[in-house]
Amino acid sequence: MSYETLTIIWFSIWGLIWAIYFVLEGYTAGTGILFPFLAKKEEEQRQLQESIGPFWGSNEVWLITAGGVTFAAFPETYGTMFSTFYIPLYLILFALFFRATGLEFMHKSNSSLWKQSWKWAFFSGSLLIPFLFGLTFSALFRGLSSNEHGLYITFSDVINAYGILGGSTFVLLSLLSSAIWISIKTEGAVQKRATLLAKKIWPISSGFLSLFFIATTNQTSLFNSFANEPVLWLIPGFTLLFILFAGIPIVYNKWGMGFAFVSLSIFTLFAAGFTGMFPNMLPARMNSSFSLTLYEAAGSELNLTIMLWITFFIVPVVILYQIWMYRIFRGKITEKNARGY
């Protein structure tokens, strides 16, 4: 296998892992955002906690894996990305911390102040995670600033209309994914509220996703390479089709199918972005010659080969473990049997 082929395989694995993580993060983060508004009493809070409690930790394995793959397979990307996006990535770390501690500590005391504080910490962390990831990857898709010293970002590279649209779109998709997930996993009043909310969020999230693709086409060069390979337009096309098709099972309360369509929409959204970036890992907005390509960023051939064999062993184990876990905790959670987390 040639070195060029190895780097392309690793770019595909890198993008695949990030896309899987964002699908799984969607319903867990969205549940945290909806938590203060859907749960009206402690029993309902425990229902929502238990609906994601067994899963959120293993979902974060994909985030750790994504960071590890970036570091090991593309060390130059890791160094540049984590120094350039230091502030937003540091804020994401804080958001992950508060989401986890809010979920874990909320019912560790009977104090009303304690419960309220951790409830809003859970909400805040859950809201910031998809928004900041959407903001960060929108900046990547748009391209970084550059000069003779290399790539860098300014405030306006991250905080701009396109980035805010990207962050808001991922938040809305997370809300839709979680409303459907709660409808699948719970019974009673909280399920009814989630059901109604899913039907309200679906047209809004569909509209924002469409606007995001329009803005991406008009304000970035992300899809310029698709002109040479028109078949690649199928990827963003499927993203929009999946979110539109999700409306049918949502209307008819077919929640499993609705969740699958929304998950596929999130997956293909990021797949379209990574495909548009290829062969760049960190694209430069104004001068493409400053872009960091996967060939420049990749590690040695020996390193990539060894990691590939390790990945072929570890990733299937992680996937099988998660399938087993979802099967074990597949039942519905009622107010009576909810134990919280």
- Per-residue pLDDT of 110-158, as tens digits, reads 888 888 999 999 999 999 999 999 999 999 999 888 777 777 777 878 8
Using the predicted structure, report yes or no on whether residue 330 has a pLDDT greater than 90. Answer: no
101 within domain boundaries = yes
| pLDDT tens string 57-69 | 888 999 999 999 9
Domain count within the chain: 1
Q: Is 110 helix (H, G, I), strand (E, B) or coil?
A: coil
Is 333 inside a domain boundary? no
pLDDT at 340: 62
Residue 40 pLDDT > 70: yes
pLDDT tens for residues 180-230? 999 999 998 999 999 999 999 999 999 999 999 999 999 888 888 888 889
Neighbours of 111 (CB within 10 A): 9
pLDDT of residue 233: 94
Residue 340 is assigned to a structural domain of this protein: no
Extract the runs of DSSP E, i.e. beta strands, from the chain. 145-147, 150-152, 280-282, 292-293
pLDDT bracket for residue 289 (50, 70, 90): confident
| pLDDT confidence of residue 341 | 61
User: What distance in Å separates the CA atoms of residue 178 and residue 161, rounded to the nearest whole number?
Assistant: 26
Residue 298's domain comprises 3-328
Residue 12 pLDDT greater than 80, yes or no: yes
> CA-CA distance, 138 to 144, in Å (whole number)?
10
Q: Is residue 88 part of a domain?
A: yes
Q: Tell me what percent of the residues of the chain surpass a pLDDT of 70.
A: 99
Answer yes or no: is 339 within a domain: no
State residue 337's pLDDT score.
74
Give the mean model confidence (pLDDT) for residues 44-57: 87
What pLDDT does residue 167 have? 96
State the pLDDT at residue 259. Answer: 97
Residue identified by tokens 């009043």 is: 189
Residue 335 lies in a domain: no
Count of C-beta atoms within a 10 Å radius of residue 269? 28
Structure confidence at residue 338 (pLDDT): 65
Average pLDDT over residues 150-170: 88
Alpha-carbon dihedral angle through residues 33, 34, 35, 38, given to the nearest 10 degrees: 170
| CATH number where 147 lies | 1.20.1630.10
